[in-house]
Structure 1
């Protein structure tokens, strides 16, 4: 068991029963779960949640503003039986770099006019 975070895309004009394509995945990056829950909407286990371009821009801004002094307020970890680490050590900063890279790349390449970006958490 663990915390798996997915991002999927699907054409806006696709039928509701059509498949989603995975465009992002993070394992046990609980600060991302907390951020989405606070800034996008209530995160529930195995329920899709739409993420807009504005959400990703806000996430990138927060990630780029992180320092050791403000990280607990801007992009905090959360406790959970299988959510992973809760300290602000090397694992935290490695995940910050990975999420920042993914967000930048997604903002450059994702077609928000044509497709929907969906967040999905499984724990």
Structure 2
């Protein structure tokens, strides 16, 4: 058991029952869960939530602004026995780098005009 965070894509014109393709995955990166819940919409277990280009741009801006002094306010961790770390140590900053890289690459390559980007959390 744990916290698994997925990003999926599907063509906007695809039928509702069509499959999504996975374009991102993070394990136990609970600050990302908290950020999406605060800035995109209520995150519920195993429920898709659409993420726009503007959302990703805002996330990138927040990630790039992080310092040891502001990280607890801008991109905070959350408690939960299966959510992973809650401190702002090495694992936190490693995950910040990984999410930042994914967001940059996604903003450069994802076609938001053609496809929908969906966030999905499983715990």
The match for 2:11 is 11
Give the total of aligned pairs: 123
Quote the offset at 1:54 in angstroms.
0.0
| TM-score (structure 2 length as normaliser) | 1.00
Task: Write out the 4+ residue segments of structure 1 that deviate beyond 6 Å after TM superposition.
Answer: none
Distance in 1, Cα, partners of 2:24 & 2:58: 18
| TM-score (structure 1 length as normaliser) | 1.00
Quote the offset at 1:119 in angstroms.
0.0
Deviations 1:70-103 (A, max 9, x none): 0000000000010000000000000000000000
Distance in 2, Cα, partners of 1:3 & 1:64: 24
Quote the offset at 1:60 in angstroms.
0.0
Deviations 1:33-64 (A, max 9, x none): 00000000000000000000000000000000
Distance in 1, Cα, partners of 2:15 & 2:86: 40
Distance in 1, Cα, partners of 2:56 & 2:64: 12
Quote the offset at 1:17 in angstroms.
0.1
